[in-house]
Amino acid sequence: MVVAKKYIVVNPFEGEPKKSDFMIVEENLPELQEDEFLAEAAYMSIDPYQRMKLGNKYPCDMIGGQVAKIIASRNSEYPEGTWVMGHFGWRTHTISKPENEKFCMQKPFLYKLPDFEDLPVSLALGVCGRVGNTAYFGFTQICQPKPGETVVVSGAAGAVGSHVGQIAKILGCRVIGFAGSDEKCKWLTNKLGFDCTANYKTTDLAQFLKENAPNGVDCYFDNVGGEISSTVLSQMNQYGRVAVCGAISSYNETDPAKRKATILQPFIVSKQLKIEGFLVNRYADRTIEGVNQNLKWVKEGKLQYREHITDGFETAVDAFIGLFRGENTGKTLVKVK
């Protein structure tokens, strides 16, 4: 009998997630039934969206994507040895079957990994997975960048942001990134080819943009929200486009006084801006297309990636808390096996 370990969340998160919000429990898995497979997690994805309210009832299972290997199967389409991407949650072993995984917000909920050749399968959770598709579809479809335009990316050294900036360079744009440390900023300019960067914790961003985007910002890919975004929106060009991907600056903030930022409407009207929120699920039907495009860029050496991997199932909560504290550069993952 296989014993799975899984994380349960005991109460809704309040402010920054805490270790006491989680418990690890064991679950005895039953025998496989027809069409079922047993998947063993290799890597679990740690993402900001996992901070959301997980349902109406607590305790509940922790949500999340994972790259897993099928280690036993009674389903000929998913034989033993197959690598899959599944939204099985934070757990070591999962029994499932394809029909259980079809109807979900995160669809396609389950898919077999394309051939990554000598690249690590962990990329299926980052640059060649949902995160990569967020960057690829969100930036190209919502911002509709043109060569020569000026693009600003916030959360620029994170999984999505570092990817967006590189796509912008591939497409011939000028790219400005904001991140939370000088070291992150150096990585963006020296290794990823961002044109210029600023540490938002120590820089007057309004002044920085006046000097570094004197003709205005054409596209803004917003990962953080709050005052950083109000500052960028105040310096957009006519007909600028804004892709609102996330608002991480607000996720853990419980003080109503701090959940406020400068009013945006005057800039939206005077600069005739187009601002659009999106969820990567909108492009779910194009998942494999996005994965293959990003994989191609990685193989061609046009897209660099960095993974922030902690070792061991038990490290997931620390990795999750660290994500909100900016401890990661690039994609945050937990290596399970």
Ligand X SMILES: NC(=O)c1ccc[n+]([C@@H]2O[C@H](COP(=O)([O-])OP(=O)(O)OC[C@H]3O[C@@H](n4cnc5c(N)ncnc54)[C@H](OP(=O)(O)O)[C@@H]3O)[C@@H](O)[C@H]2O)c1
Q: Which residues bind ligand X (CB under 6 A)?
A: 47-49, 131, 134, 155, 157-161, 179-181, 184, 223-224, 245-249, 278-280, 323-324, 326, 328, 332
| CB of residue 282 to ligand X, shortest distance in Å | 8
Determine if the peptide bond prior to 108 is cis (ω within 30°). Answer: yes
Task: Please give the C-alpha separations between residue 81 and each of 23, 76, 135, 166, 336, in angstroms, as whole numbers.
Answer: 30, 12, 30, 33, 17
Cis peptide before 214 (omega within 30 of 0): no
Contact 154, 138 (CB under 8 A): no
- For ligand X, the closer of residues 150 and 154 by Cβ is 154
CB nearer ligand X, residue 70 or residue 245: 245
CB of 187 to ligand X, least distance (A): 11
Nearest-approach distance from CB 76 to ligand X, in angstroms: 33
User: Residue 175 CB, nearest distance to ligand X (Å)?
Assistant: 15
CB of 156 to ligand X, least distance (A): 7
CB 72 within 8 A of CB 32: yes
Length of the chain: 337
In sequence order, the β-bridge partners of residue 38 are 72, 95
- Name the E strands within the chain: 3-9, 22-28, 37-45, 60-61, 66-73, 83-86, 93-96, 110-112, 150-153, 174-179, 196-199, 217-222, 236-244, 274-277, 307-311, 331-335
Complex with ligand X: residue 229 or 235, whichever CB lies closer: 229
Write down the least CB distance from residue 82 to ligand X, Å.
Answer: 26
Q: Which is nearer to ligand X, 75 or 223 (CB)?
A: 223
What single string gives the DSSP state of each residue in 232-247? HHTTEEEEEEEEE---
**CB nearer ligand X, residue 85 or residue 159:** 159
Residue placing its CB nearer to ligand X in the complex, 49 or 83: 49
